Amino acid sequence: MATTMVKPAGWGRLRLDRTRPKRQEIGPLERRRARAGLLFISPWLVGFLLFYLLPMVASAFFSTLSFQLATPDEAEFIGLGNWQRALFNDPNVWRAWIVTLRFAVINLPIGLVVAFGFALLLNSDYLRSRNLFRTLFYAPSVVPFIASTLIFSQILNSQTGWVNRLISFLFGIDATGVDGIRWLDNPTLIPLTYTFIGIWGLGNAILINLAGLQGVPTALYESASIDGAGWWRRMWHITVPMVSPVIFYNLVLGLVGLLQYFLQPFVLNGTSGYPQGATNFYMIYFYKQAFQFAQMGYGATLAWILFFVALAITIVVFGTARSWVYYSAEQT
């Protein structure tokens, strides 16, 4: 954020000199330091060129080719043919986006609220042995996704899982039968089911929220209490605005992650999209085209579409940030 300050006379010139150094003004020592700095970052520079920039350029080029990996000699230039196919002629692309975005719309709010709620609980002054609770709440986050996915899919199994058995026990209905709650087989329930399956992954978001809560100055709460603000008002007018940068960070990372959602549906259903295409997420479709069918040209096109969608959504989210994310002066 831009800072304005009163500058003493002469500072402007000094700053100008520093931001635009002329070649001859750099001493031999500075030049050596600059060279050393570039040497230190050279691993990344080389890696960026080799594993980011070059592949990106190649990927853009690939997207203009009809290119099967098995028959590279038959690769031919087809211009925007892949793009036309992906955007207009291939209904699977749109279906995959609908599946992915619907999941994001259901998963994100749940994730943000649960993470914030847990952080509130773990930050409460009334909680005994807070550190133990924090450790135990975080612990499942280090469980490998493959293991947690398999465990949650068993728990949600309509006949033998504990979730349906608990529902049957609590509400006296038969949730386990054929007409019961079929978490993994009912296309309508799939977004909710997969939100459950990934719920252990919230550990990092909880921790970051917690750190945000700890950063809120207690003086704010004290003066608000003296002014007669109750718990709810303090929450909405102090806590939420003060941790909104953290919520924003979680939102952006969550969104980018969800657009690339792959592991859980792949482990449980492969690329079948079971049930009725409800788990045919965009990355699953990309994987199928690019690596199962080895269509390098079309795969690269699908990857670029993912990139542009992610970019567009990120820009929109950053655009809204101005109106709801609060950066206090000291954080500039």
Examine residue 316 and tell whether it contacts other proteins (CB under 8 A). no
The H or E element that residue 169 is part of is helix 162-171
Examine residue 184 and tell whether it contacts other proteins (CB under 8 A). no
Query: Any alpha helices (H) in 124-161, and if so which ranges?
Result: 130-138, 145-155
Residues paired with 111 in a beta bridge? none
As measured in angstroms, the least distance from the Cβ of 208 to other proteins is: 3
Residues paired with 77 in a beta bridge? 65
As measured in angstroms, the least distance from the Cβ of 128 to other proteins is: 5
Rule CB under 8 A: choose which of 64, 82, 100, 148 binds other proteins: 148
Question: Are 314 and 252 spatial neighbours (Cβ–Cβ below 8 Å)?
Answer: yes
As measured in angstroms, the least distance from the Cβ of 313 to other proteins is: 10
| Spatial separation of the C-alpha atoms in residues 175 and 177, rounded to whole Å | 6
Q: How many residues bind other proteins (CB under 8 A)?
A: 95
- The stretch near other proteins (CB under 8 A) out of 76-84, 90-98, 101-109, 122-130 is 122-130
Examine residue 58 and tell whether it contacts other proteins (CB under 8 A). yes
- The stretch near other proteins (CB under 8 A) out of 1-9, 39-47, 79-87, 178-186 is 39-47
| Spatial separation of the C-alpha atoms in residues 247 and 156, rounded to whole Å | 29
Rule CB under 8 A: choose which of 12, 15, 45, 177 binds other proteins: 45
Closest CB to other proteins among 31 and 188? 31
| Binding residues among 265-304 for other proteins as defined by CB under 8 A | 266-267, 270, 283, 286-287, 290-291, 296, 299-300, 302-304
As measured in angstroms, the least distance from the Cβ of 57 to other proteins is: 8
Classify the C-alpha dihedral 183-185-189-190 as positive or negative: positive
Phi, psi at residue 77, to the nearest 5°? -75, 125
Specify the 3-state DSSP secondary structure of 68.
strand
| Binding residues among 206-225 for other proteins as defined by CB under 8 A | 207-208, 211-212, 215
CA distances from 247 to 25, 76, 232, 271 (A): 46, 47, 18, 33
